[in-house]
């Protein structure tokens, strides 16, 4: 493909900056979905049932927003990259341990993963304020969902 087939509604500078924010978000969300699935399959303990179920909902959330982010990237003329190799190279999600994990360890790890992603997203909301309000709107929506998820996971750690 000799020439980019998709044109952009943004100027070159805005396109590059916005594209970087979207690509980084895409990778974070794909890794969140893989991590949540890994946790979903490997959780054990008294609270197995509810944690197992919630992890599937988190996977769906991550997958759906990954799709929206990749579509937005295309819409501004940037090819999105969500391959396994790219995820390993640039994800912001902390490494999840191998093997079965207790329910409490699982919850703790998910809370930490969400905290890391939220902090990165809030920085990107600021960056896109000057480059593309449409993209910013999407990042605000994702942040709202992840912060809500963060509360619901963290609430289970209270004792």
Query: Nearest approach, Cβ of 24 to a second copy (angstroms)?
Result: 15
Query: Nearest approach, Cβ of 65 to a second copy (angstroms)?
Result: 13
Identify the CA nearest to 117 among candidates 94, 89, 88.
Answer: 94
- The nearer residue to a second copy, 20 or 75, going by C-beta atoms, is 75
Q: What are the backbone angles phi and psi of residue 144, rounded to the nearest 5°?
A: -60, -45
Rounded Cα distance, 79 and 23, in Å: 9
Which strand (E) or helix (H) includes residue 101?
strand 101-102
- The nearer residue to a second copy, 17 or 43, going by C-beta atoms, is 43
- The nearer residue to a second copy, 65 or 96, going by C-beta atoms, is 96
Asked if 110 and 58 count as a contact pair (C-beta separation under 8 A), the reply is: yes
Rounded Cα distance, 107 and 157, in Å: 8
Query: Nearest approach, Cβ of 12 to a second copy (angstroms)?
Result: 16
Query: Nearest approach, Cβ of 46 to a second copy (angstroms)?
Result: 6
User: 45 CB contacts (<8 Å, ≥6 apart)?
Assistant: 51, 102, 103, 104
Please, which residues bridge with residue 102 across strands? 44
Query: Nearest approach, Cβ of 143 to a second copy (angstroms)?
Result: 5
Asked if 132 and 76 count as a contact pair (C-beta separation under 8 A), the reply is: yes
């Amino acid at each position: 493909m000799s020439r980019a087939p998709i044109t952009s509604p943004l100027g070159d500078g805005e396109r590059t900056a916005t594209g970087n924010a979207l690509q980084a978000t895409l990778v974070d969300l794909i890794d969140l979905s893989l991590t949540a699935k890994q946790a979903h399959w490997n959780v054990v303990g008294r609270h197995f049932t509810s944690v197992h179920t919630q992890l599937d909902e988190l996977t769906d959330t991550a997958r759906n927003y990954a799709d929206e982010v990749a579509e937005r990237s295309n819409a501004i003329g940037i090819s999105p990259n969500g391959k396994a190799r790219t995820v390993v190279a640039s994800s912001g999600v902390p490494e999840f341990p191998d093997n079965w994990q207790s329910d409490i360890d699982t919850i703790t790890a998910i809370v930490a993963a969400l905290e890391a992603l939220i902090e990165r997203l809030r920085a990107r909301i600021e960056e896109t304020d000057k480059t593309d309000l449409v993209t910013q709107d999407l990042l605000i929506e994702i942040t709202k969902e992840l912060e809500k998820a963060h509360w619901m996971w963290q609430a289970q750690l209270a004792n």
